[in-house]
Amino acid sequence: MSCCFISVISFLVWLNQTRDFCFNNDAHVLAHAACKTLVRIESSRRVTCAFKSTSKQLTRAQKREEQNIGCGGASLFADWRIVEVAQGSGSGPQRRHNLYPDEIMRLNTISTFAIIMLVSTRCSAQDWSSLWKSYCAAFMDNQIRVIDHDAGDRTTSEGQAYAMFFALVANDRPRFDGLLRWTEGNLASGDLATHLPAWLWGKGPNNKWGVLDGNSASDADVWIAYSLLEAGAAWKEPRYTATGAALAKRIAAEETAQIPAFGTALLPGAKGFHNGDVYRLNASYVPLQIFLGLAHEQPDGPWRQIANQIPAVVQGSSPNGFASDWAEFRPGKGLTPVSPGSYDAIRVYLWAGMLDSGTAERNSILKSLSGMARALYTNAIPPAKVKADGTVEDPKSPVGFSAALLPYLEALGESNLETEQMSRVQSEFNSKNGLYGNPGRYYDQNLVLFGLGSKLHQFWFDLQGRLSTKWQQSR
């Protein structure tokens, strides 16, 4: 009977260590109860369970989880291992109890129910498709515009762009069409081929809804163009391909610059980022894989030249290993940060982590961003704001930051740090609304959709920046 019961609990431990499974707190409590009952029963048979911390790293993670979740049982199987020790040898509890039939029945019931619950809730907090549906329900209206409820119900071209990409990853063509239609009609004067989309739409001072700032945001523009080109190929829709190609050419004409002594770069928008010989750049606007993809589609465009300069943009923006939101290029001084790293910069780590492992520039980019991994060795929660010199201004970021760092930490081979961040993400899943964080905010969900989508292989990029999706591979 000892071997049988030990096998049951070992199976529970193995499930929790398997990346394909995740658990809610109720399941953890049940498993904890099963293990405690096992300890009592097995003690009567001269066998005891000694729980030993596997490392200082795990002990620290367990304490933090208890603080965050308020449930020691929720951390039990993540941070401890079960070892069988004969009574009278080794360390650990040496207690005897009488064996009662009702205890055996209780263990069997709890163990069986715990296993059923663990399997039935498989990936409940990591089900990407369910998160996409929850995101649509929480942040989109019947017009299919993405709404930031924390900013006056505004809509940005960035929100539309990311949602179009996620709709493609989800094989949600009706929603993709709706997002494209709203974006083109409300942000691009009805034609993305001839107008860059305005970056901000919302309620004006006269209580009328419309464009609030007609300037463009190039990061959104390149994601829209890229998603249209990839959607055209995936769904065999020439209209998407033609619109994406036309938008890409307009971006090349209006949002790129040849910077003397630096090279070709993407400006953050069509206006306001070039003053004399000073150029303002944003490393989070230039995901290398997207520009490799655009270079594949339009080899005559500036995309390859921009891609070649992206490692320099990241390095110049991250002199001490932490990406900054904004940097400026000045003759004789090069590219230097002009702001801390925060809500923009977190995406730099995300994009780097999602690069194909064979990408030539990947290692140099990751090396430029080493400060964030170092910070996580002493603080489980990523900083929300870091100065260019590495000084932390705001030590506690929202859950989206942890999700964004999952691909980055995996790329670095930092499995313990990755596990800690995944644990934090899972702990902030709200089963009532299917979102992450309390409250579940618009920007956090975008970062989680990217981070978990990459981690769970809902999508990935090849060496040429071409997109692959899970649904395409399963056809």
In this prediction, residue 34 has a pLDDT band, given cuts at 50, 70 and 90, of very low
Cα 178 to Cα 448: distance, rounded to the nearest angstrom: 22
Residue range 434-445: average pLDDT?
Answer: 97
128-473 — its CATH code? 1.50.10.10
Residue range 392-418: average pLDDT?
Answer: 98
Which pLDDT score, from 0 to 100, does residue 474 have? 86
Which pLDDT score, from 0 to 100, does residue 69 have? 36
Cα 45 to Cα 5: distance, rounded to the nearest angstrom: 12
**Integer angstrom CA distances of residue 318 from 37, 96, 180, 241, 410:** 52, 59, 35, 35, 20
More confident residue, 307 or 127: 307
Which pLDDT score, from 0 to 100, does residue 299 have? 97
Q: Which of 394, 362, 361, 357 has its CA nearest to residue 375?
A: 394
Select which of 158, 221, 325, 328 is catalytic. 158
In the DSSP assignment, the letter for residue 154 is B
For residue 254, pLDDT beyond 90: yes
The full set of domain ranges for the chain reads 2-120, 128-473
Select which of 65, 79, 172, 219 is catalytic. 219
> Residue 26 catalytic?
no
Question: 135-149 pLDDT, tens per residue?
Answer: 999 999 999 999 999
> Residue 325 catalytic?
no
Q: Which of 264, 292, 291, 289 has its CA nearest to residue 279?
A: 264
| Whether the model pTM is above 0.85 | no
In the DSSP assignment, the letter for residue 285 is G
Cβ proximity of 249 and 266 under 8 Å: no
Cα 314 to Cα 321: distance, rounded to the nearest angstrom: 10
Amino acid type, 155 = T
Residue range 383-401: average pLDDT?
Answer: 97
Cα angle 407, 305, 365 (rounded to 5 degrees) comes to 30
Structure tokens at 64: 């933090």
H helix or E strand, kind and range, residue 306: helix 303-317
